[in-house]
Amino acid sequence: MRSHLEPKAMAKALRNALQERGITITHSEALEIVAAQHGLASWNVLAAARGAPAEDEVRFYETCPILRIFDEGLAKEFYVDFLGFHLDWEHRFGENFPLYVQVSRAGLILHLSGHHGDETPGSTVFVRMHGVEAFQAELLRKEYKHNKPGVEDVPWGRVMTVTDPFGNRIRFCEDN
């Protein structure tokens, strides 16, 4: 566990996922479930286990790359249907505004944006992971016609690169 904030985000994602399936729990109940997932007796024990950062300590909690999208349907087909990400939330700043969305899977959070200037189209995101070959097999079973990723050996590990419909590349890397 990297921070006491990460479990709070996990609890929020859990509540949202359950709510989409018609199951309602309180935030407190979600925190207790997350604590149990970490093998601890309660949320209070989990929060105390990490402690608060010192006033002058620099600490980063997570990275959420923003990737440019140009078509909402294609983005959902690729990230949700093909890659198996969960759609956490969607936002528009007003009527007739582009979509800004968060997707996540197994600890990886990505923001997808239709807003000009949020990001550079054709970016590359490098993701360290475990289970790259199992992930590749899962993707190949889906028979997605636009992407048939392979895994290659490189000096720093085994890498599988996928390219979304907008030219953004995600390199999933499992260390040697």
Q: Burial of 29 by CB count in 10 Å (0-12 exposed, 13-18 middle, 19+ buried)?
A: middle
Residue 31 in contact with residue 8, Cβ under 8 Å?
yes
pLDDT in tens, the chain (176 residues): 344 457 777 888 888 888 888 888 888 888 888 878 877 788 777 777 766 666 778 877 788 999 999 999 999 999 999 999 999 999 999 999 999 999 999 989 999 999 988 888 889 999 999 999 999 999 999 999 999 999 999 999 999 999 999 999 999 999 98
Domain ranges of the chain: 5-50, 66-174
Q: Could you identify the residue written with the tokens 């018609």?
A: 22
Residue 31 in contact with residue 37, Cβ under 8 Å?
no
Per-residue model confidence (pLDDT) at position 1: 39
* Alpha carbon distance 67, 112 (integer Å): 5
pTM beyond 0.85: no
* Alpha carbon distance 98, 9 (integer Å): 25
Tokens of residue 171, six digits: 């390199």
Q: How many CB atoms lie within 10 A of CB 48?
A: 12
Domain 66-174 has CATH 3.10.180.10: yes
